[in-house]
Chain A
Amino acid sequence: MSKKKGQEKVFEIKWKTDLPYRYSIGKLAVKFFEELKENKKIMGSKCSKCGKVHSPPRAVCAECFIEMTVEDMIELSPRGTLEGFTVVNYPFTDPNTGGLRPFPYGYAIFKLDGADTYTMHFVDETDYTKLKVGQRVEAVFKEKREGNIGDILYYRVIKNED
């Protein structure tokens, strides 16, 4: 808090609170994280009516109101296209950790090959002049995976795609 000359010291009570809670991610997300952890695979879900491929996997196709199950899950390519990007360059408290989110960091949305919807995640680039909509990208996986979205460390721009 910035104090101007003559301004009295503000009386403050400071505290930190843990707020644990449970969140049900559903069967499709469980399968997604199992495949990610065990086999380095990225899975989506395909609507049996319109064929739309959802990435991340969703339990309902919003176009058709059709339910998708684990049987409707298909493997997607870890490669895709950069559809939009920014480089976040401001400080804030990360509610997932309670600490400062490290910055600057590249934040982007991607379309994985074979998917019809978009995926948001980190992109491994903090110089925005090096990023361009339409660039090809690929997922970089964590060596020791734990079964959460952090198992995909980030996407990186592919320089020379074979």
Chain B
Amino acid sequence: MDHFEGINFSELMCGIEAAPGYLKPVVKVATGGTTGSSLAICGYHNVASGIYNNVLVIGWEKLNEGGATTGIITAFDPVWERPSLAGALGPLALMAGMYSAKYGITAEQAAKVTVKNRSNAANNPFAHLQMPNITIDYVMSSQMISYPLRLHDCCPQSEGACALIYANEQETKKITDNPAWFHAVETAHYYTFGTDDKMYDLPTATIASKKAYKKAGIKNPVKDLDVAEIYEPTSWSELSWTEALGFCKPGEGGKLLDEGITQMSGEFPINPSGGVLSTNPIGATALVRVAEAATQVMGRGEKRQVPDVEKALAMGFGGSLWTEILILGKEPLR
């Protein structure tokens, strides 16, 4: 953060009408796109370590109040990167183009991701974009924003907040008999300097997910997990990320989608909530992934509920291509 943006909005953290942090220890966490998953992981560490019994974790964003692209540019190197960088979508477009050139993924396959996720969003009353009748043609004829990304290949700019209550085993019993349990949390960083590597295949997602699967005893993620809420800023990224997360082999993200496996009716639904393509209040976005994974594990998803969820994966993605992975389960990991 260049200019201590919003750091002294104490009424936001401690005001009676906002988060009830008054006279309580408050920690502010900001890591860009991963903010929500960093929050989720910090909440976990605070309770799992035994330091606190109960923690309230809140992520929020009001994108209407500022230019996201402008703000994101200031997060990058002022000398080498800012002059040509166009916020998040420019680099995401580069990545999509390289991914497409390498594996022959098509614009139609990307459009299918948007249709899947926005159709799912119609089952989620908290989703921002409600486009239940969206079609592949509609996505593919929308304006070219940054080749190969069309308008509807991109996430929206949303306003929103998300809150999670954490409790230790003892305290949990007082709150609910149906909690979601943490099985694994992982954070992975990769590059030291921007453009050290091309990174269109998100190596950090591979590093973080492999470690998380090992911790959580997951051998085959598509079989051993029941649902995933992943951070897909564009339609193309979902296809690429499914490969990086080991849901399929490199280059087979399009095939995984075409086979229907990631649809609501498929073996392994991805983003029943509608995903980031339907709702993107940045500081809350990755926390929403965790909340939605918890919702699925607790069986509280109503119209967007996947049947019989035992284990769910949540993913945060951001800034310098970091990935954060959280795995939640219906039963504690013993």
A-to-B contact residues, CB < 8 Å: 19, 21, 23, 25, 29, 54, 56, 58, 60, 62, 83-90, 92-96, 101, 107-109, 117-122, 128, 133, 148-150
In the assembled complex, B79 has its CB within 8 A of some CB on chain A: yes
In the assembled complex, B145 has its CB within 8 A of some CB on chain A: yes
Complex partner residue of A120 from B2, B147, B195, CB under 8 angstroms? B195
Complex partner residue of A90 from B146, B195, B196, CB under 8 angstroms? B146
In the assembled complex, B83 has its CB within 8 A of some CB on chain A: yes
Contact partners of A58 in chain B: CB under 8 A: 192-193
Asked, given contacts A62-B192, A122-B84, whether A86 binds B70 with beta carbons under 8 Å apart, the answer is no
Contact partners of A119 in chain B: CB under 8 A: 195
B86 touches A93 (CB 8 A): no
In the assembled complex, B188 has its CB within 8 A of some CB on chain A: no
Closest to A86 in B: B93
Asked, given contacts A19-B3, A62-B192, A107-B86, whether A86 binds B94 with beta carbons under 8 Å apart, the answer is yes
Say how far A29's CB is from chain B's closest CB, in angstroms.
6
Contact partners of B84 in chain A: CB under 8 A: 107, 120-122
A84 touches B98 (CB 8 A): yes
B79 touches A85 (CB 8 A): no
B-to-A contact residues, CB < 8 Å: 2-3, 67, 69-71, 73-74, 78-87, 89-90, 93-95, 97-98, 101, 143-149, 191-198, 200
Contact partners of A95 in chain B: CB under 8 A: 70-71, 73-74, 82
A117 touches B78 (CB 8 A): no
Q: A131 to B198, alpha carbons, bound, how many Å? A: 18
B193 touches A86 (CB 8 A): no
Closest to B3 in A: A19
A90 touches B79 (CB 8 A): no
Q: List 7 A-B contacts (CB under 8 A).
A: A60-B192, A83-B98, A95-B73, A107-B86, A107-B146, A118-B196, A120-B85
B147 touches A87 (CB 8 A): yes
Closest to B96 in A: A86
Say how far A142's CB is from chain B's closest CB, in angstroms.
13
B200 touches A84 (CB 8 A): yes
Complex partner residue of B67 from A19, A25, A92, CB under 8 angstroms? A92
Contact partners of B196 in chain A: CB under 8 A: 62, 117-118
Say how far B10's CB is from chain A's closest CB, in angstroms.
21
Contact partners of B3 in chain A: CB under 8 A: 19
Q: Which of B71, B147, B148 has the most CB of A within 10 A?
A: B147
Q: A11 to B69, alpha carbons, bound, how many Å? A: 24
Say how far A133's CB is from chain B's closest CB, in angstroms.
4
Q: A44 to B171, alpha carbons, bound, how many Å? A: 57
Q: A94 to B69, alpha carbons, bound, how many Å? A: 9
Complex partner residue of A86 from B2, B81, B143, B147, CB under 8 angstroms? B147
